[in-house]
């Protein structure tokens, strides 16, 4: 029925070829709308950004000329731009490592020791994300500010003589990133642990493996899919984050997301901002490919 509608207004010979093609592609009506959505709202915008990244700008960055150049990409690895990109990668990797070190024990305790409280504990991990991200960041900023709860409590107890500078430094940005993306590391690891066959652990006990050796040789290798899936879900948003460094880092800690915003909205240098965005997309695609290739696909399917 669908094939006849598609090929109803084309020449007979071409109509027959299209009918045979559609007959061999029964999934096409289902993936077609999704593919069209991806092309229109993902691939096409990325193509526009890629095109603008190779254009030439005027002396003050406002004018754009259709002249091919690699100057913007070369500038990314010099001076302040290179430092900001390197800092962004370090923050993203650091956030991923800290989330893994905290998230794996949390997921393990919930999956193996949660008992009848599993659903409740998992709910407590997820529930902060129900609140607006902006509200949570402003709450953190209020709590840790000079007149916030932390400094007020320490001052009243006489532990400090003047307010501590908790905000507007790399540690505050790192804390905000971990606070934001920790649940995205816990959930896929939890899914991997729940799907682990208990008979494999029992077999390792029968073979004389100690708890630590059992974890290294059985549990950890079989849950690597959850680790790679969590890496995808944490590293990618941490790499492009701009709100956390803006509110918790101020002007002292700038990441690539803030640099893109600055180039687009303040400086008006669209090609320069586009080149930064293209580099970030390339890093994201590389991390996604490596994570999925190394075993994160199954865990991503379970969690998504």
pLDDT tens digits, residue range 49-83? 999 999 988 766 567 888 898 988 998 888 888 99
Q: Containing domain of residue 140, as a range?
A: 74-303
Cα dist. 199→80, 110, 183, 204, 290 in Å? 55, 19, 28, 9, 30
Residue 67 falls within a domain, yes or no?
Answer: no
Same domain, 10 and 99: no
Same domain, 253 and 106: yes
CATH number of the domain where residue 146 is located: 1.10.3720.10
pLDDT value of position 215: 87
Residue 58 falls within a domain, yes or no?
Answer: no
Residue 60 falls within a domain, yes or no?
Answer: no
Residue 252 falls within a domain, yes or no?
Answer: yes
- Backbone phi, then psi, for 74, in 5-degree steps? -70, -35
Residue 61 falls within a domain, yes or no?
Answer: no
User: Does residue 89 come out as left (phi exceeding 0), alpha (psi in the -120 to 50 range) or beta?
Assistant: alpha
Q: What is the pLDDT of residues 85-142, one digit of tens each?
A: 999 999 999 999 999 999 999 999 999 888 889 889 999 999 988 888 889 999 998 8
Same domain, 102 and 244: yes
Residue 161 falls within a domain, yes or no?
Answer: yes
For residue 260, which of 248, 271, 249, 251 has the smallest C-alpha distance? 271
Same domain, 153 and 122: yes
* Structural domains counted in the chain: 2
Same domain, 130 and 247: yes
Same domain, 32 and 82: no
């Amino acid at each position: 029925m669908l094939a006849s509608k598609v090929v109803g207004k084309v020449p007979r010979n071409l109509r027959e070829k299209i009918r045979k093609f559609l007959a061999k592609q029964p999934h096409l009506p289902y993936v077609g709308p999704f593919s069209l959505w991806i092309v229109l709202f993902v691939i096409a915008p990325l193509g526009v950004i890629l095109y603008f990244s190779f254009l030439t700008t005027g002396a003050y960055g406002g004018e754009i000329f259709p002249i091919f150049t690699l100057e913007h990409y070369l500038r990314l690895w010099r001076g302040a731009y290179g430092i900001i990109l390197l800092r962004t990668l370090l923050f993203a990797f650091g956030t991923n490592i800290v989330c893994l070190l905290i998230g794996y024990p949390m997921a393990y305790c919930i999956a193996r020791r949660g008992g009848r409280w599993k659903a409740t504990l998992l709910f407590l991990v997820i529930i902060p994300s129900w609140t607006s991200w902006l509200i949570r960041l402003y709450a953190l900023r209020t709590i840790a500010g000079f007149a916030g709860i932390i400094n007020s409590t320490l001052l009243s107890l006489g532990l400090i003589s003047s307010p501590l500078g908790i905000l507007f430094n790399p540690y505050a940005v790192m804390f905000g990133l971990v606070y934001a993306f920790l649940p995205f590391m816990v959930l896929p690891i939890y899914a991997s642990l729940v799907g682990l066959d208990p008979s494999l652990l029992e077999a390792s006990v029968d073979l004389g493996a100690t708890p630590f050796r059992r974890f290294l040789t059985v549990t950890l290798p079989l849950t690597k899919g959850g680790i790679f899936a969590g890496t995808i879900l944490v590293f990618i948003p941490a790499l492009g984050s701009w709100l956390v460094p803006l509110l918790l880092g101020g002007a002292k800690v700038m990441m690539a997301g803030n640099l893109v915003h600055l180039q687009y909205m303040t400086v008006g240098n669209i090609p320069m901002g586009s080149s930064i965005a293209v580099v970030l997309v390339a890093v994201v695609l590389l991390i996604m490919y490596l994570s999925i290739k190394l075993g994160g696909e199954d865990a991503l399917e379970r969690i998504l």
